[in-house]
Amino acid sequence: MFQEFKIWSVLNNIVVTGPEGDKRQLTSEEKTKLSVSLQLYPKMSEKELVAILFGKKAGAILNYRQIEGNDTMSAFFDKYLEIASLCGYDSIAGRKTAEEKLKALFCMF
């Protein structure tokens, strides 16, 4: 519970600076999208976060260089992936985004 509160605290304080220098807060949809990824990774860099939100070619800058994710959930999820791999679901390990990993894992069960 604390880690989720910590994640949402940071998400509520993120300021995005666009390529033209305009600043804005994240929308609710953007916060939710980042929250999903931060639940499955112990930390994410600014570059990774911007890529999730705007794609790899975006010129946006965040006021955080790195954000801590959910360490506990990330550790559990890594073990789930390990179990899936042992059960013959090797394709799950190659997934990159949180959404891809979740879809693949849910298909297993």
Please, what's the b/e burial string for 50-85 (b: 16 or more CB within 10 A of its CB; e: otherwise)?
Answer: bbbbeeeeeebebeeeebebbeebbeebeebbeebe
| Main-chain dihedrals φ then ψ at residue 24, nearest 5 degrees | -160, 165
pLDDT tens across the length of the chain (109 residues) = 788 889 999 999 999 998 888 999 999 999 999 999 999 889 999 999 999 998 877 788 999 999 999 999 888 888 887 787 777 766 655 556 777 777 766 666 6
Which segments within the chain are labelled E, that is strand?
15-17, 23-25, 43-45, 61-62, 66-68
SS3 state of residue 74: helix
Q: In whole angstroms, what is the distance from residue 18 CA to residue 5 CA?
A: 27
Q: Tell me the whole-structure pTM to 2 decimals.
A: 0.77
